[in-house]
Amino acid sequence: MAIGAVGLWVTLVTAAVFTVLGVIQASRQAVDLEDFMVSRNRFGTGMALATVVASAMGAWILFSPPEVGATSGVAGILGYCIGQATPAVAFAVLGPRIRHLMPQGHSLNEYVLYRFGNAMYWVTLAIITFYMFVYLTAELTAIAKAVELMAGVPLWVTALVVMGAVFVYTTVGGLGATIFTDAIQFALIVPLLLLSFGVVVVALGGWEAAIAPVLQSAPELFSLGYGPGQKFGLTLIIAIIAAEMFNQANWQRIYACRNDGVVRRAFLGSFLVIVPLLFIAGLLGILGMHFGFSDDRTFFALIQELALPRIVTIGVLVLVLALVMSSLDTLVNGIASVFTTDLLRLFPGMATQGILRLCRGMAVVVGIPAIAIAARGYNVLYLFLLADLVCAGALFPVLFGLYSRRLTGTIALWSTLIAIGTGALFFPRPDFAPWNGLPGSGDLLVSFTAPVVISILLCLGSITWQAQQGHTQVFNFLHLSQKIRAYGSADKEPVG
């Protein structure tokens, strides 16, 4: 059978298996709006750890970290690892805090609505939606490009098959089905990634033989002191931490954990898992330099160049499909869930089952344009960086509001808008060239650092000025627990 036919069949079968598993899980109990949103307090440490890791580890780890490794070396890879894993530590702290303030809460934007008011809410909603849609599109782009590279399947075919499968079990089973399939995907992702790395090293003649050409042509890639690698690594730390704070999937999983202890163990444990896996993915990029590969297709070009047995190609396809479906289902469910607060406000008289149907329909509506964009095959890394920029400006105001009683909605709003605008002045074009002659233009580190610093200064400066003027308005955190209520009253049996 031709490799293209094999690739298509592997894609179809893998997608079908995950779909059937998700639907079976969903059929075990009725799914109400509360289940669809958060599956509140249902999952123990094992399941929670698996879903946090699987939802974070999308197909991007076979595109972006290898590209970073091939261009920025070990220093850049470490920056990527720290940036991607550090949010887990932050959520181990923020999770119990928001569960305490909003024991019946569901999402970050819901918190912003009752903490800062409508204006800041709409900005935050736009940021969350934009980031998660770009993430969704980038993941779909990644799987489409991977299958095209390895099996010659057209981009749109893969995007349609994978997204169609995700639609089926995600819209039927909600977050519970997503977390269940995440656990299975986690069990596949870890060994398959380790096996892929081992097979590549063996095929190159062992570690020393694999890195010898790279040491001769680009020895700086193995140096922690490599300046460009350090700079890009620091850029990724700021960008990814900011973005992950606006990933609805993380906030959903905070509420899905059985208790605060599970939140801490699951997110801290995910840090210990994510760091080595990402580092290995980055090293694959450095090994790709053995043949001169250095873009976001480095890993797959390396697999092709080595002419490995077909079983290896099939294993890699299953790996990338497990990676992408573990994040796509999370994103589809997360995007749909962020609009639930608005739907309830727009249709106050509608039963929760009616709202649930609207959420399911919205998930499909959001996914359709993602399929069209994925068929264009844009660079995955640039798409992420674009979304990260808007998150950086809102990071401090939104999270500081969890602790500061004196931060008002007006201060948070203007700090966010000014910070995002400042970062945009320095953000590069898609070819990473500067837009204008402004000093620092096109510098990613400047474009991500500036909004964080500006927002901090504006928030703290405004609070200090108001205190000096005698303004003593403070927010009562009890307002959050009094206003925010669960969408259903049925207690569910804990899992995992």
Give the lowest-confidence range in 177-191, 255-269, 349-363: 349-363
**Residue 262: per-residue pLDDT:** 95
**Residue 111: per-residue pLDDT:** 93
**Residue reference for tokens 């999308």:** 58
Give the mean pLDDT of 171-189: 85
**Residue 93: per-residue pLDDT:** 94
Give the mean pLDDT of 182-198: 88
Residue 458's pLDDT band, with cuts at 50, 70 and 90, is very high
Percent of the chain having pLDDT more than 70? 95
Q: What is the DSSP string of 195-229?
A: HHHHHHHHHTTSHHHHHHHHHHH-GGGG-TT-HHH
The residues that bridge with 43 in the sheet, in sequence order, are 257, 495
Query: Rounded to an integer, what distance in angstroms lies between the CA atom of residue 332 and that of residue 178?
Result: 10
**Residue reference for tokens 């569901």:** 106
Residue 314's pLDDT band, with cuts at 50, 70 and 90, is confident
Give the mean pLDDT of 363-377: 79
Q: Is the pLDDT of residue 30 over 80?
A: no
Smallest Cα–Cα separation from 106: which of 158, 35, 186? Answer: 35
Q: Is the pLDDT of residue 99 over 60?
A: yes
Neighbours of 101 (CB within 10 A): 19
**Cβ neighbourhood burial of 172 (10 Å; 0-12, 13-18, 19+):** middle
179 and 40 in contact (C-beta within 8 Å)?
A: no
Give the mean pLDDT of 75-96: 88
**Residue 489: per-residue pLDDT:** 44
Which positions ≥6 away from 346 have C-beta within 8 Å? none
Give the lowest-confidence range in 154-168, 241-255, 367-381: 367-381
Interval 44-62: pLDDT, tens: 999 999 999 988 887 778 8
Query: Rounded to an integer, what distance in angstroms lies between the CA atom of residue 215 and that of residue 222?
Result: 8
149 and 297 in contact (C-beta within 8 Å)?
A: yes
Which one-letter amino acid corresponds to residue 12? L
Q: Is the pLDDT of residue 492 over 70?
A: no
Give the mean pLDDT of 16-39: 81
Residue 353 host element (H or E): helix 352-374
Interval 325-334: pLDDT, tens: 888 888 888 8
**Residue 292: per-residue pLDDT:** 80
Give me the chain's average pLDDT, please: 85
Residue 381's pLDDT band, with cuts at 50, 70 and 90, is low
Using the Cα atoms of residue 287, residue 292, residue 293 and residue 295 in order, give the sign of their dihedral.
Answer: positive
Which one-letter amino acid corresponds to residue 157? V
Residue 3's pLDDT band, with cuts at 50, 70 and 90, is low
Alpha helices of 31-154 — where are they, by DSSP H? 33-37, 45-56, 64-101, 108-116, 118-151
- What domains does the chain contain, in order, with CATH numbers? 3-388 (1.20.1730.10)
With a threshold of 0.85, does the pTM exceed it?
yes
Query: Rounded to an integer, what distance in angstroms lies between the CA atom of residue 211 and that of residue 201?
Result: 9
Q: Is the pLDDT of residue 241 over 90?
A: no
**Residue 414: per-residue pLDDT:** 96
